[in-house]
């Protein structure tokens, strides 16, 4: 019985998120494990989507004047120690190289957890005048962050891939303005291509990036009710400039410290996409980032195979060989093929057999809701893009609905615990205190996501300290 279920799709129920997700990423051929805990292999099916994300982001970055570069993986310890808050924030996560062969190094080298410490000494050398600004660089690289338990493929891995934008400006206004442009670019990619509804919000001081003045992130909700952070923008003010001596002469020949930003999107977004959209049958991929938009499956009947296969090949040509698969394998039954491509998330399945050929039509099945349509062959090329856009919109609206239905409010600790137990994202009054946030996590298992735009009422009290709250924040159980 288990073998039959394996053929049809996933054994695990989506309600048991951990087992379901682990099974999904292996059976849908997205990733595989290695002997290093928290390090996964990105297989072609997932990497192709990452390449599309990278392409979409690069187009937007370059429009903003951001250039791609590459800096080294290994960072001398002295550079990492130059900004106090930054090194303290990352110290538990850093992996170190201490030997080369059998020779102990005179200075330890950090394996890149992020690149401020390797980039900024160079920025200090290159920037001399206001004419050198703004400097806008981006790199697509892998990073290693070691300190955590319970790795989850794509969502929480020790080695992952991301972009990191690092920009330098002559004034704070331009730096902050650029942050809005970058976050709009990320949101465009996430919502209009990955079909992931997102809410941007500012992190509390405890949760902001180590060394930043402030951090804004996009937030999503997972099928198990946990929240997860996506794309990030950090305004660093002059903190790193002062630590790494990034100065310039302004138009009045006055020496000034520069203002800086950093921003990123990572392969975590692949995991969010897979988790949010997929179901018990397997993977669902938004058409705009799907490596292939359709699979054509000829229904082969003895004596009529040739005509059906020839027409299937014509359909593949008309829809585009580069974006359409033709599964004409003779050693697999049609039902096995249907299940396989459902599992692997092809947005559309197109079936054609002898009877369809007689009627000059095909059967088209949507992966997202299994809806079937009979479409005339002459209309297929026109109707496929329309159906794909319907799928794209439907996936986004479902993601948006899930976020909205997850929201709740609480004014007491007991109500917060109850709402978190019901897998909600909860709006609560809180004082701006690291100690308060530590207690909140200890008592509820949840943590702050971001500060709400809505202000506390005069009667509300901090749910931890009982004092007048500084703001309302969203709290959730998270990855």
Q: For residue 430, what pLDDT is reported?
A: 98
For 173, the domain range is: 29-277
Please give the angle made by the CA atoms of 434, 440 and 445, to the nearest 5 degrees: 125
- Check whether residue 168 and residue 33 sit in a common domain: yes
> 3-state SS of 86-151?
HHHHHHHHCEEEEEECCEEEEEEEEECCCCHHHHHHHHHHHCCEHHHCCEEEEEEEEEECCCCCCC
- Note whether 105 and 163 are same-domain residues: yes
pLDDT value for 303: 85
| One pLDDT digit (tens) per residue for the chain, 479 residues | 334 334 457 888 888 999 999 999 999 999 999 999 999 999 999 999 999 999 999 999 999 999 999 999 999 999 988 877 777 877 889 999 999 999 999 999 999 999 999 999 999 999 999 999 999 999 999 999 987 778 999 999 999 999 999 999 999 999 999 999 999 999 999 999 999 999 999 999 999 998 899 999 999 999 999 999 999 999 999 999 999 999 999 999 999 999 999 999 999 999 999 999 999 999 999 999 999 999 999 999 888 889 999 999 999 999 999 999 999 999 999 999 999 999 999 999 999 999 999 999 999 999 999 999 999 999 999 999 999 999 999 999 999 999 999 999 999 999 999 999 999 999 999 999 999 999 999 999 999 999 999 999 999 999 999 999 999 999 999 98
Is the residue at 424 inside a domain?
yes
Do residues 357 and 256 share a domain? no
- Domain co-membership, 113 together with 260: yes
pTM score: 0.94
Residue 214 lies inside a defined structural domain of this protein: yes
* Confidence at residue 6, expressed as pLDDT on a 0 to 100 scale: 43
Q: For position 451, which CATH number holds?
A: 3.30.110.30
Same domain, 253 and 300: no
Q: Does 132 lie in the same domain as 95?
A: yes
Q: The tokens of 472 are what?
A: 């309302």
Cα–Cα dist 479/477, whole Å: 7
Among 388, 423, 450, give the residue marking a domain's end. Answer: 388
Residues 161, 67: one domain?
Answer: yes
Is 4 domain-assigned?
A: no
Enter the tokens of residue 117: 């410490």
- Residues 178, 49 share a domain: yes
pLDDT at 211: 87
Q: Are residues 83 and 232 in the same domain?
A: yes
Locus of tokens 């804004």:
216
- Do 172 and 248 have their domain in common? yes
| 412 and 372 within one domain | no
Number of domain units in the chain: 3
As given in the structure block, the two tokens for residue 94 are: 């850093």
Of 363, 377, 376, residue with least CA distance to 299: 363
Whether residue 393 lies inside any domain: the answer is no
**Do 98 and 104 contact (CB within 8 A), yes or no?**
yes
For position 235, which CATH number holds? 3.30.930.10
Residue 338: CATH number of its domain: 3.40.50.800
Domain-located, residue 401: no
Q: What whole-number distance in Å separates Cα of residue 216 and Cα of residue 263?
A: 9
Q: Are residues 260 and 319 in the same domain?
A: no
């Amino acid at each position: 019985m288990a073998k039959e279920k394996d053929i049809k799709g996933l054994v695990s129920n989506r309600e048991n998120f951990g087992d379901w997700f682990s099974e999904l990423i292996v059976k849908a051929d997205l990733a595989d494990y290695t002997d290093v805990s928290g390090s996964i292999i990105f297989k072609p099916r997932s990497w192709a989507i990452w390449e599309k994300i990278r392409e979409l982001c690069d187009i937007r970055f370059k429009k903003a004047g951001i250039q791609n570069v590459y800096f080294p993986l290994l960072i001398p310890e002295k550079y990492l120690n130059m900004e106090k808050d930054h090194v303290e924030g990352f110290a538990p996560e850093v992996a170190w190289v201490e030997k080369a062969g059998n020779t102990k190094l005179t200075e330890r080298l950090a394996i890149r957890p992020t690149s401020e410490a390797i980039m900024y000494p160079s920025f200090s050398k290159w920037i001399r005048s206001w004419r050198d600004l703004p400097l806008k660089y981006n790199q697509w690289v892998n990073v290693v962050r070691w300190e955590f338990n319970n790795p989850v493929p794509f969502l929480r891995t020790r080695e992952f891939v991301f972009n990191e934008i690092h920009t330098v400006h002559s004034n704070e206004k331009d730096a902050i303005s650029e942050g809005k442009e970058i976050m709009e670019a990320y949101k465009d990619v996430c919502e209009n291509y990955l079909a992931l509804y997102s809410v941007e919000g500012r992190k509390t001081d405890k949760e902001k990036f180590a060394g930043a003045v402030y951090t804004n992130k996009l937030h999503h909700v997972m099928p198990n009710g946990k929240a997860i952070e996506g794309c990030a923008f950090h305004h660093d003010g002059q903190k790193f400039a002062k630590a790494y001596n990034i100065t310039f002469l302004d138009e009045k020949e006055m020496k000034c410290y520069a203002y800086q930003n950093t921003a990123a999107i990572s392969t975590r977004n692949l995991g969010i996409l897979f988790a949010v959209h997929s179901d018990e049958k397997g993977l669902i991929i938004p058409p705009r980032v799907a490596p292939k938009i359709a699979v054509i499956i000829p229904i082969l009947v003895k004596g009529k195979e040739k005509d059906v296969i020839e027409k299937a090949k014509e359909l593949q040509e008309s829809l585009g060989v580069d974006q359409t698969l033709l599964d004409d394998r003779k050693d697999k039954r049609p039902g096995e093929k249907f299940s396989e491509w459902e599992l692997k998330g092809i947005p559309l399945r197109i079936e054609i057999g002898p009877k369809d050929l007689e009627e000059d039509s095909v059967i088209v099945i949507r992966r997202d809701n299994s809806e079937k349509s009979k479409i005339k062959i002459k209309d297929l090329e026109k109707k496929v893009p329309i159906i794909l856009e319907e799928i794209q919109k439907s996936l986004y609206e479902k993601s948006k609905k899930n976020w909205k239905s997850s929201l709740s409010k609480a004014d007491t600790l007991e109500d917060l615990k109850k709402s978190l137990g019901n897998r909600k994202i909860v709006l609560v009054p809180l004082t701006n205190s690291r100690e308060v946030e530590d207690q909140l996590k200890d008592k509820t298992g949840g943590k702050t996501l971001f500060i709400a735009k809505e202000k506390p009422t005069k009667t509300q009290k901090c749910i931890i300290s009982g004092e007048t709250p500084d703001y309302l924040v969203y709290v959730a159980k998270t990855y």
